[in-house]
Copies of this chain bind each other. A is one copy, B any other.
Amino acid sequence: MPQPKFSGVIPPVVTPDNPDHTLDVRSYGRLIDRMVGSGVNGLFLLGSTGEVAFSNDAHREDIVREGIRIVAGRVPVLVGCIDTETDRVIEHARRAQALGADAVVATAPFYALGGLDEIEEHFRILHEEIDLPILAYDIPACVHSKIPWKLALRLGQDGVLAGVKDSSGDDVNFRYLVQENEKAGHPLSLLTGHEIVVDGAYLSGADGSVPGLANVIPAPYVRQYEAYRAGDWAHVKELQDQINEVSHIFDVTAGVQGYAGGVGAFKCALNLMGVFDHDTMPRPVRALEGANREAIRKVLVDNGVLGA
């Protein structure tokens, strides 16, 4: 099994904010160095986890410029160019390219939905206008349309897409995509964004994973990918079990939902662990506090991520 260009563990990087909502560059450096030092195979800046939707263009530029500077070529850097429609995405992609991105990640159009033909046209235009590999970001929970495997594969075979980052929750579609991609000569790098079921995605034959939780615990994901490459499935599964125990930082909180409970849990954990100086969330989201913060601390302590 030769490894495609974008493979292995490629975490979506959480963006640390100062209390005044500027980029907290020192925390950012600690976070990135820790993940690269753990052996991750790439980094994904400005994903949903990286606050792309909350960041204005100047802030997006800070995140990408500083991220690429810190990474310093140690691993490939993918940059999310997330916006409502084609022309807006193109602008973000050109900026990402100018800042040194290795690939761009783009969703289907959102806000105004137009069906599969428009999704296909969207990616074809992006490919014509952008000089970087493009990965499709399949995330129906955010964009409210789904990229079917037949469309993704056709765009891969036509050289439009270099890969797919699957955050769709549709494991049936993903399994078909992996299987048919293999039969077609593996034109696409196929990465799962579902950090809780990476083991199953690997058994399907996925090329890698984009686990947000790797911001908190990168090492188990790296070891899991190594076990996958070695065909040690019992260990792949065992590591997933261990990872999932830590993932309860998502569900021990109360009274929060969506981004506040997901990325909020990451920031809370990273702050408790001393990786982040702050747990500031982007407006209008609030940081986790009080009992929620203590519940997350307990999960981290119980699983040895944090000293008692």
The interface of chain A, by Cβ under 8 A from chain B, is: 21, 48, 53-57, 59, 82-88, 90-91, 109-115, 118-119, 121-122, 125, 142-144, 169-172, 175-176, 179, 194, 196-197, 199-201, 203-205, 231, 233-234, 236-237, 240-241, 244, 257-260, 282-286
Asked if residues A284 and B122 are in contact (CB atoms below 8 Å), the reply is yes
Residues of B within 8 A of A257 (CB): 114-115
Q: How far is the CA of A112 from the CA of B52 in the complex (A)?
A: 10
Asked if residues B203 and A54 are in contact (CB atoms below 8 Å), the reply is no
Give A165 Cβ to nearest chain B Cβ, in Å. Answer: 15
Give A229 Cβ to nearest chain B Cβ, in Å. Answer: 14
**A–B Cβ pairs within 8 angstroms, 26 of them:** A48-B111, A53-B85, A53-B109, A53-B110, A54-B85, A54-B86, A55-B87, A56-B87, A57-B57, A83-B84, A85-B283, A110-B110, A112-B258, A114-B260, A115-B257, A118-B285, A119-B284, A121-B284, A169-B170, A172-B194, A175-B240, A179-B241, A199-B200, A200-B203, A203-B233, A231-B234
Q: How far is the CA of A232 from the CA of B57 in the complex (A)?
A: 51
Residues of B within 8 A of A176 (CB): 196, 244
Given contacts A54-B84, A91-B56, A197-B204, contact A113 B258 (CB under 8 A): yes
Give A136 Cβ to nearest chain B Cβ, in Å. Answer: 14
Residues of B within 8 A of A109 (CB): 53, 284
Q: Which residue of B lies closest to A232 (CB)?
A: B233
Asked if residues B200 and A85 are in contact (CB atoms below 8 Å), the reply is no
Give A134 Cβ to nearest chain B Cβ, in Å. Answer: 14
Q: How far is the CA of A113 from the CA of B257 in the complex (A)?
A: 8
Residues of B within 8 A of A118 (CB): 258, 260, 284-285
Q: Which residue of B lies closest to A49 (CB)?
A: B112
Q: How far is the CA of A162 from the CA of B182 in the complex (A)?
A: 39
Asked if residues A111 and B143 are in contact (CB atoms below 8 Å), the reply is yes
Give A146 Cβ to nearest chain B Cβ, in Å. Answer: 12
Asked if residues B144 and A172 are in contact (CB atoms below 8 Å), the reply is no
Given A54-B112, A171-B194, A203-B233: 12 more A-B contacts, CB < 8 Å: A55-B87, A82-B111, A83-B84, A87-B282, A112-B142, A171-B200, A175-B244, A197-B200, A197-B204, A200-B200, A200-B201, A200-B204
Q: Which of A121, A244, A284 lies at the interface centre, i.e. has the most chain B CB atoms within 10 A of its CB?
A: A284
Q: How far is the CA of A233 from the CA of B119 in the complex (A)?
A: 37
Q: How far is the CA of A244 from the CA of B110 in the complex (A)?
A: 29
Give A121 Cβ to nearest chain B Cβ, in Å. Answer: 4
Report which of B82, B85, B203, B244 forms a contact with A284, defined as CB distance below 8 A.
Answer: B85
Give A6 Cβ to nearest chain B Cβ, in Å. Answer: 22
Q: Which residue of B lies closest to A113 (CB)?
A: B258
Residues of B within 8 A of A113 (CB): 258-259
Given contacts A56-B88, A118-B284, A284-B86, contact A197 B179 (CB under 8 A): no
